[in-house]
C-alpha cells in the first residue's frame, strides 16, 4: 500500500500502542489502560485472543507441573489479568476454572478450559473496562523509526493508510513484526532451520455421546491423559480433557493416524477443541508455505472425523465444526532482547532480580522444570536490543527452542503482556525509555495489580 495517501489525523495520538490482540496483546492493553495510559490495541482479526484462543486446548498453565514429581507441592505461578480473564469467562458461563488432571499429570497437572466464543467476549469487556481503544480489522503496514526510536506506525484497514503515533509501543504480533520493521535484531526460522516449528490447527468435533466414547476408549486402554468436571450449566462430572495414546490407536485401527491427540470438552456432546494435526516444520513468514498448511490441515481435519466415526463408539454421527479461522503458526521469527531465556534457565528454575513474572510449564515431554518448580521471567527479556521505545511480549520472545516451548504458551504470554503493558505505561508517564523504568517500582505495581512475581502455594480449591 506504499503509494496510498496517509491520513495523519484519523487516529490518536496515544501514550501506548499495542500491536496484536492475542493473549499477550490483551494483557498488555488492559494493563496499560488500567495504569492510566491512553491506549490503542491494533488487531488484524475481528476478535481478540489470537492463536491462544483459536489454537489451544486450554490456557496453559497457571500452575507448576507437580504431577511430574510425586509428592511435590502444588504451586500457583500465574494470576493477575490472566486470572481476571478466567474469572470473567466463568461469570459469563464459558469456563470451569482450574481443573486437576486425574491421569497423565506428569505433562500438565492442571487444565484451564475456556469456551472460545465466551473468551472473546470476556476479552472485549476487560479491554473496554480498562479504557482501551480497539481497532480491529487493521494491520501494521509500516514502521517509521530513526536511530532505534519508533516515530510512528502506519496501519492499514478498509479506510486506507493511517499514521498512528504513541510515546511507547508494544509488539504482541507473534512474529515480532513491529520490532523487526523498526530495526530490532531478529532470528528468522526458515524451513529446515533448527528451531523451525510446525503450524497446527484445532477444530470442534460435534454430535458425540461423550460417555459412550470415553467408555469405548477406556475399554481399549487408549486414554493416557484425563480429567472430569462439572461443565457450565451442568449437574454432574463429565469428560473435560483427554489425551490418547496414538501408537496404540494405530495398532488397533491398522491405518495412519495423527502423532498425538489432545481434546477439551466444555459443552455437551462435543469435543470443543481437538488438537492433533500439524503441517511442517515450515517458515512462518512464508505465505506460500502457510497456504499449503491451510490446504493440508483442513483435509486432515476431516480425516480425523472419519477415524472417529469408523472406530469409536458414540461418534458414529459426529461431524467437524468451528475450525480455527486459520492455521496456527507457532514460530516465524524471534526478537533478540537484552536477555534471552535459555533451556537451562527454564529447566533449572532460575530466578532473577528483575523478574516480572514466573512460569512452570514446558510444552515438550523431554524437559520439565526442576523439582516441579518455576523459573523467573526477567524484565530484560521484553526489551528489544537497539530499540528505545518498544517492548515485546508473546511467542517471539525466546530464541532458544526449549525456552520457546515454554514461553510461547498462553498463560506465559498473558504474564509477559501484563508486565510489558504496565512498564510501557510507566515509561510513557515519565517520558522515559523502557530501559529506564525503575524495576523495583515496576515489580511493586505488578504485585499491587495481582500479578505473581514468584510462585506461591495454591490458594484455589479444586472443583468438587
Whether residues 19 and 148 fall in one domain: yes
Residue-level pLDDT at 98 = 96
pLDDT computed for residue 3 by the predictor? 63
pLDDT at position 463 is 45
> Is residue 145 domain-resident?
yes
Q: How far is CA 424 from the centre of its chain?
A: 20
Strand partners for 150: 145
Residue 463 lies in a domain: no
Same domain assignment for residues 448 and 344: yes
Q: Which of 135, 138, 147 is nearest to 1 (CA)?
A: 138
Q: Name residue 149's beta-bridge partners.
A: 146
> What does the longest C-alpha to C-alpha distance in the chain come to?
65
Q: Is residue 13 part of a domain?
A: yes
Q: Please work out, in degrees rounded to the nearest 5, the angle formed at the alpha carbon of residue 40 by the alpha carbons of 35 and 44.
A: 135
Domain end position, chosen among 281, 296, 329? 329
Instruction: Let me know whether 56 and 158 are in one domain.
Output: yes
In a domain, 1, yes or no: no
Q: Is residue 155 a contact partner of residue 3, using CB atoms and an 8 Å limit?
A: no
Please state the domain count of the chain: 2
pLDDT averaged over every residue in the chain:
96
Same domain, 307 and 365: no
| CA dist., res. 438 & res. 404, Å (int) | 27
Beta pairing, strands 160-164 & 6-7:
parallel
Instruction: Give the end of a domain, one of 296, 329, 362.
Output: 329
- The whole-number mean pLDDT for each consecutive block of 10 residues of the chain, a chain of 464 residues, reads 80 96 98 98 97 89 95 96 98 96 96 96 98 98 97 97 98 98 97 93 97 98 98 96 97 94 97 96 96 97 98 98 94 97 98 98 95 97 98 96 96 98 98 98 98 86 49
Task: Check if the beta carbon of residue 164 is closer than 8 Å to that of residue 10.
Answer: no
Same domain, 87 and 218: no
- Residue-level pLDDT at 358: 98
State which residues form the domain around 178: 6-189+332-457
Residues 122 and 217 in one domain: no
The pLDDT tens digits of the residues spanning 124-170 come to 999 999 999 999 999 999 999 999 999 999 999 999 999 999 999 99
C-alpha cell at 71: 509428592
Q: What pLDDT is recorded for position 462? A: 52
Q: Are residues 11 and 35 in the same domain?
A: yes
**Same domain, yes or no: 152 and 300:** no
Same domain (yes/no): 340, 325 = no
Provide the CA 15 distance to its chain's centre, in angstroms.
Answer: 25
* pLDDT score at 2: 54
pLDDT at residue 183 in the model: 97
Task: Tell whether 58 is covered by a domain.
Answer: yes
Give yes or no: residues 415 and 319 share one domain.
no
| Residue 462 lies inside a defined structural domain of this protein | no
Say what the pTM is.
Answer: 0.97
Judge if 315 and 352 occupy the same domain. no
CA 274/CA 140 separation, integer angstroms:
31
CA distances from 340 to 384, 404, 410 (A): 10, 10, 19
Rounded to an integer, what distance in angstroms lies between the CA atom of residue 421 and that of residue 29? 6
Asked if residues 304 and 274 have their Cβ atoms less than 8 Å apart, the reply is yes
Q: Which of 410, 204, 206 is nearest to 324 (CA)?
A: 204
Residue 449 forms part of a structural domain: yes
Verify that 166 and 299 share a domain, yes or no.
no
Domain CATH for 402: 3.50.50.60
Query: CA torsion sign, 43 to 49 to 55 to 60?
Result: positive
The two beta strands, 186-188 and 456-457, are: unpaired
The reply to whether 177 falls in a domain is yes
Q: Sign of torsion, CA 141 147 148 150?
A: negative
Q: Which of 329, 350, 368 is the last residue of a domain?
A: 329
Amino acid at each position: 500500500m506504499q503509494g496510498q495517501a496517509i491520513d495523519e489525523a484519523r487516529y490518536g495520538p496515544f501514550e501506548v500502542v499495542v500491536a496484536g490482540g492475542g493473549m499477550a496483546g490483551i494483557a498488555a492493553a488492559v494493563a496499560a489502560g488500567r495504569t492510566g495510559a491512553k491506549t490503542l490495541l491494533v488487531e488484524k482479526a475481528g476478535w481478540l485472543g489470537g492463536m491462544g484462543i483459536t489454537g489451544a486446548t486450554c490456557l496453559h498453565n497457571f500452575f507448576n507441573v507437580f504431577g511430574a514429581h510425586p509428592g511435590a507441592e502444588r504451586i500457583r505461578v500465574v494470576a493477575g489479568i490472566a486470572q481476571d480473564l478466567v474469572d470473567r469467562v466463568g461469570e459469563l458461563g464459558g469456563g470451569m476454572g482450574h481443573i486437576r488432571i486425574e491421569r497423565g499429570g506428569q505433562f500438565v497437572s492442571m487444565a484451564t478450559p475456556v469456551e472460545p466464543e465466551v473468551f472473546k467476549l470476556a476479552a472485549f469487556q476487560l479491554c473496554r473496562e480498562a479504557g482501551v481503544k480497539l481497532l480491529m480489522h487493521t494491520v501494521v503496514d509500516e514502521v517509521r523509526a530513526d536511530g532505534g526510536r519508533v516515530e510512528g506506525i502506519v496501519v492499514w484497514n478498509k479506510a486506507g493508510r493511517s499514521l498512528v503515533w504513541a510515546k511507547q509501543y508494544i509488539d504482541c504480533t507473534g512474529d515480532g513484526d513491529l520490532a523487526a520493521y523498526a530495526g530490532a535484531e531478529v532470528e528468522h526460522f526458515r524451513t529446515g532451520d533448527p528451531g523451525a516449528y510446525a503450524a497446527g490447527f484445532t477444530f470442534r468435533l460435534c454430535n458425540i455421546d461423550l460417555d459412550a466414547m470415553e467408555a469405548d476408549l477406556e475399554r481399549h486402554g487408549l486414554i493416557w491423559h484425563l480429567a472430569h468436571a462439572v461443565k457450565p450449566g451442568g449437574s454432574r462430572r463429565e469428560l473435560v480433557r483427554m489425551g490418547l495414546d496414538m501408537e496404540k490407536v494405530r495398532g488397533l485401527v491398522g491405518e495412519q493416524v495423527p502423532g498425538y491427540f489432545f481434546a477439551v470438552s466444555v459443552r455437551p456432546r462435543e469435543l470443543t477443541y481437538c488438537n492433533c494435526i500439524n503441517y511442517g516444520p515450515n517458515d512462518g513468514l512464508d505465505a506460500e508455505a502457510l497456504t499449503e498448511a491451510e490446504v493440508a490441515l483442513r483435509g486432515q481435519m476431516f480425516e480425523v472425523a472419519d477415524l472417529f466415526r469408523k472406530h469409536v463408539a458414540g461418534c458414529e454421527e459426529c461431524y467437524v465444526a468451528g475450525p480455527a479461522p486459520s492455521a496456527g503458526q507457532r514460530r516465524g521469527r524471534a526478537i533478540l532482547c537484552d536477555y534471552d531465556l535459555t533451556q537451562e534457565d527454564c529447566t533449572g528454575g532460575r530466578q532473577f532480580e528483575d523478574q516480572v513474572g514466573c512460569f512452570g510449564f514446558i510444552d515438550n515431554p523431554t524437559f520439565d522444570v526442576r523439582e516441579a518448580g518455576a523459573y523467573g521471567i526477567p524484565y530484560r527479556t521484553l526489551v528489544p536490543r537497539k530499540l528505545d521505545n518498544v517492548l515485546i511480549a508473546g511467542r517471539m520472545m525466546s530464541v532458544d527452542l526449549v525456552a520457546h516451548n515454554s514461553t510461547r504458551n498462553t498463560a506465559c504470554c498473558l504474564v509477559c503482556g501484563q508486565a510489558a503493558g504496565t512498564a510501557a505505561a510507566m515509561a510513557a508517564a515519565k517520558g522515559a525509555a523502557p530501559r529506564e523504568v525503575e524495576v523495583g517500582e515496576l515489580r511493586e505495581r505488578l504485585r499491587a495489580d495481582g500479578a505473581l512475581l514468584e510462585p506461591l502455594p495454591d490458594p484455589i480449591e479444586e472443583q468438587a
